A and B are shown apart, each in its own frame.
Chain A
Amino acid sequence: MSIKLAVIQFPGSNCDLDTIHVLNNVIGVEANLIWHNHFKEAEFDGCVLPGGFSFGDYLRSGIIAAHSPALDEARIMLKDGRPIIGICNGFQILTEAQFLPGALLRNDSLKFICKWVNIKVENNETAFTSKMKIGDVLAIPIAHGEGRYYTDNLKELEENNQIVFRYTTESGDITEEANPNGSMENIAGVCNLEQNCLGLMPHPERASEAIISPKGTTHGKLFFESMIEFIKRRIS
């Protein structure tokens, strides 16, 4: 059985085509660009909520998209245990739709920030991190104005191993300088309790090809390869 993924296109998504490119041409998996209110979960083995400014980020980042029929479909997928990843604006949508805990606030610099950062793997048991090792440091870019992670339930997240990535230095140290946006405890990505849903601010699709990585790394591929591996294990 062949694997089929959906990249959901909301009005205002702008990393949708980039994600499709990486999935189709770099990872080599079938991925379809699906307009948000055309999305039918039953046709897909997993889905990606790409980055961008869904609905112009009006009202609050991700809040309008969180009410799209696509999220009702995705909720079925989530309960069924299929993998869902939200990247950047996708992460904001997933927190607004309460697939994931916490919220993304305005960067502490009050500015949009675009730069390559390092994140450390804290949990490699999720649907998107099985190809990584705990403690691995990944080079990956961020590009957001509202990526400061906040939660009221930090302890719970830590106990449940839901913190998947933290911003670190190149050598893996969790420092204030390595935190680009003021996120609580340097948190860059979190997952749900069942570990089949991941949200993160950095962009794996921008870190999957050596030619566009400053140091020639392709750490972003690991996310999608892990996702495929997870699906294969589920199917078999």
Chain B
Amino acid sequence: MPKVDVDGDEMDVDLTKREIKEIKVLLEREPSITEWAMFDVMHSEHCSYKSSRPKLKLFEDAEANYDYVLAGPGEDAGVIDIGDGYCLAFRIESHNHPSAIEPYHGAATGIGGIIRDILCMGVRPIALMDPLRFGTLKDNPHSQWLFKYVVKGIADYGNCTGIPTIGGEVEFDKSFESNCLVNVACIGLGTIEDFKHAPSKAYNPGDYVILMGGSTGRDGIHGVTFASRTLTEMSEADRPAVQIGDPFTKKMIIEATLEAVKTGYVRGLKDLGGGGLSCALSELTGDGGTGASIDMSKIFTREPGMNSFEIMLSESQERMAFIVKPEGLEKVLEVFRKFETPHAVIGRTDDSKVLKIYDGDIAVVNLPATALTDAPTIPREEKRPDYLNVLLAQKTPNPTMELEEIIYKLIASENICSKEWVYRQYDHEVGVRSVVKCGDADSGVLRIIGTDKYIAASVGVNSKHCFLDPYEGAKGGLVETCGNVIANGAKPMAMVNCCNFGNPEQAESFWFFSQAVKGMADFCQELRIPIVGGNVSFYNEDEVTNTLIKPAPVIMIVGIIESQENIITLPFKKAGNDILLIGETKSELGGSEYHSVIYDLEGGIPPKVNDNKIKAIWDLVAELYKEKLVKANHDVNKGGFIITIAEMCFKNKLGADLDLIECFDDSLRDDEILFSESVGRFIIETDPKDYNKILEITKKHNVDVKKIGVLISNPQIMIKSIKGKDLKLDISKMKKLYDATIPNLMET
């Protein structure tokens, strides 16, 4: 690590030689120790996106190109106008490294951070969602430990703050064994007026700067620098860099902040996350075109004797910075007093465009406000790994066991089985908005009280697909998450993403990132989905075992359902109804659960996305919904459509009589038909009397739709297969296997 000279002592900084030189040129002097530390943090990968920014330029400007986007990338959260004077704010980010070292507090403070990001848009956080990735659980106490405490950390924090956790995703793969991925997402709802009261910049000179919330302690110092390195044996020693969460204080901060915003006297709002005060103050003034004078002695600390370096770098949780109009200072302070939230007026903004931090009479920091936020970018090499060709060439072996046995194994596999063990621990009802219950739908559905509008949200991506082809895999993730909200009756409105990748300094790692970004950008442009925010987490690899994670560009989609009558859920409703498969099934078993569970195979040809065909399918589904022709809908996902159908049978204990001979020719094998993970497909339930009408609509959209069977009251799935013998599966046995896997692994 490069060193800089501070008053004769050497100090390690995570800056390049060029950055060090440029900083000295800019300041025309040697920075102080605190200033060096601030540059160190603000120019870290975590804060500056120095490797990723050039690629993220591929995302089109959502604010300019979509009239309902109120805030796009670069803000703390994406914000969209959903009509009736309301707006939604949402964001997803990672808390991977802290959770890999200390799962309980790592996950909890991840939730804390994402709540603050939404809160500082001036709106009430109303839902959480958590896409999680761990090593496989079986015979792996370390993965079980991480899984157990990450879930508990999320539950304890989210439940206490009164924000329901309405959904999520869990993937298990050995590549995540040391470096688990803990992504956290939050949705906020408020009026557009509230949002306008809380810009994350200090644009008016003369306003007061108030720090409110938890005290500033020595925890979390250099948390972001830690997040911008790979995990090594030394990482255990980094445990003090993990912050400690306090959900009770957070709850008070939420209420105090929202009430303060309602006074109309708040002119700017920013949460303190990675980079602490350094980051918040420099972004507020830098983005607002102002400067500020801050009196460090006013900052309330958890312990005496903290120096300016520690105070400016502390990443203590539960803190917010307010920019307040002078005439409203007393009103705002009154709110904080009511909620008994600690607070202090720490300074005022001015027109100097310089950020000055005083320790007594000495300015320990005296920097142009934009110096910290204008971090340089670093162009990175990218190279497609040669080993991918070998993987892609892998062939599906001939099944050596009965197809029934394979299906029973798949339904019980860790990636497919029920995640009820997880969501039972989350309060998913608080807020009285949860219209569809966990397990009943592909996405979380919330009502907007006082309107007949509903929010549907989904998170996810298939990292196995992304590993084989990050471009198609990232697109596939979009198809899947959009498909989730579409299945529920929503129109996808906007996307945010959380890119989890390896070390960007390595060309092969960076290639995965670059390809995934391109995939997301292309698809969103083609399908007209604004990308309103993102977060990048690099360095997700374990140096000890030399394991790189499977790439995970996790996607969050938020959609809107107009009117309660358009909400469709997943369970099959009535025997005698038709089962339709929408979308084409291809020989796409690369990265499938079938390959990994049955053959321990990672390769093969992964699903490809045809943008036009996906668009046609979405248009078709929208029209079928408009005509009220769909009784149940579930998108086809891991394990193929046979798993989809089984999941739809569970709740109402129905069965299905499927005839594959009628629907597929013999160009595909039985296992390819059943287990293919071709993306963009849905299984829908329809009334037989509507069949002809549906066919007519289908023709118009030129989509491949097959009636593959009918629902029966006997809880069995009967399959007439093409080549092999007919299959018979017992739904109650499947359900037992589906339910038992995680409790058996975690509770014994």
Contacts and interface: CB of A to CB of B under 8 A. Distances in A.
Contacts of B160: 12, 14, 53, 56-57
Interface in A13-69: 14-15, 18, 21-22, 25, 35, 51-53, 55-58
A138 to B, nearest CB: 16
A141 interface: yes
A114 interface: yes
B449 A21 contact: yes
A114 B425 CA distance: 6
A205 interface: yes
B248 A58 contact: yes
B248 A114 contact: no
Interface string B246-260: 111101100000000
B432 A205 contact: yes
Contact of B248 (A21, A55, A116): A55
Nearest to B428: A114
Nearest to A55: B248
A51 B160 CA distance: 10
Interface stretch (A125-133, A150-158, A168-176, A206-214): A206-214
Contact of A212 (B155, B249, B339, B435): B435
Given A56-B160, A211-B435, A11 B248 contact: yes
Interface string A189-232: 00000000000000101100101101000000000000000000
A103 interface: no
Contacts of B247: 53, 56
B429 interface: yes
B98 to A, nearest CB: 21
Contacts of B427: 112, 114, 143
Contacts, number: 86
A27 to B, nearest CB: 13
Contacts of A14: 160-162, 251, 430
A114 B162 contact: no
Nearest to A111: B425
Contacts of B564: 211
A18 B431 contact: yes
A233 interface: no
B17 interface: no
A234 interface: no
Interface size class of chain A, counting residues whose CB lies under 8 Å from the partner chain: 20 to 34
A106 B701 CA distance: 56
A105 interface: no
A178 interface: no
A143 B430 contact: yes
B340 interface: yes
A33 to B, nearest CB: 11
A212 B425 contact: no
Of the listed residues B426, B429, B433, the one surrounded by the most CB atoms of chain A closer than 10 A to its CB is: B429
A56 B339 contact: no
A114 B246 contact: no
B447 A212 contact: yes
A168 B426 CA distance: 23
B426 A114 contact: yes
A12 B251 CA distance: 6
Contact of B424 (A11, A111, A212): A111
A215 to B, nearest CB: 11
Contacts of B48: none
A11 B252 CA distance: 7
Interface in B434-485: 434-435, 437, 440, 447, 449
Interface residues of B, number: 34
B432 A209 contact: yes
B159 interface: yes
A79 B112 CA distance: 42
B162 A112 contact: no
Contacts of A214: 437, 440
B310 interface: no
B29 interface: no
Interface in B335-359: 338-340
B81 interface: no
Contacts of A18: 430-432
Interface in B133-163: 152, 155-156, 159-162
Contact of A22 (B251, B339, B432, B435): B432
Interface string B278-306: 00000000000000000000000000000
Interface string B376-415: 0000000000000000000000000000000000000000
Nearest to A180: B424
Contacts of A51: 430
Nearest to B148: A111
B339 A11 contact: yes
Interface string A77-115: 000000000000000000000000000000000011111
A214 B428 CA distance: 13
A211 B433 CA distance: 9
A2 B681 CA distance: 57
A209 B338 CA distance: 32
A113 B251 contact: no
A18 B162 CA distance: 10
B248 A212 contact: no
A15 B688 CA distance: 45
A156 to B, nearest CB: 33
Contacts of B161: 14
A143 B429 contact: yes
Contact of A203 (B249, B429, B433): B429
Contact of A113 (B249, B339, B425, B437): B425
Contacts of A212: 429, 432-435, 447
Contacts of A55: 248
B432 A114 contact: no
B650 to A, nearest CB: 14
A12 B248 contact: yes
B449 A115 contact: no
Interface string B221-255: 00000000000000000000000001111011000
Contacts of B156: 112
Nearest to B437: A214
Given A212-B447, A214-B437, A53 B429 contact: no
Contact of A141 (B339, B429, B435): B429
Interface string B165-188: 000000000000000000000000
Contacts of A25: 449
A203 B428 CA distance: 13
B26 to A, nearest CB: 45
Given A12-B252, A112-B425, A212-B447, A56 B246 contact: yes
Contacts of B162: 14-15, 52-53
A56 B155 CA distance: 14
A57 B251 CA distance: 12
A214 B162 CA distance: 21
Contacts of B155: 111-112
Contacts of B449: 21, 25
Q: 3 closest A-B pairs (Cβ-Cβ)?
A: A14-B162, A56-B248, A143-B427
23 contacts: A11-B248, A11-B251, A11-B339, A14-B251, A15-B162, A18-B430, A21-B432, A35-B338, A53-B159, A55-B248, A56-B246, A111-B152, A111-B155, A112-B159, A113-B425, A114-B425, A116-B437, A141-B429, A145-B159, A211-B447, A212-B435, A212-B447, A214-B440
Given A22-B432, A112-B156, A113-B424, 12 more contacts: A15-B162, A18-B432, A21-B449, A53-B159, A56-B246, A112-B159, A113-B425, A115-B424, A206-B430, A212-B433, A214-B437, A214-B440
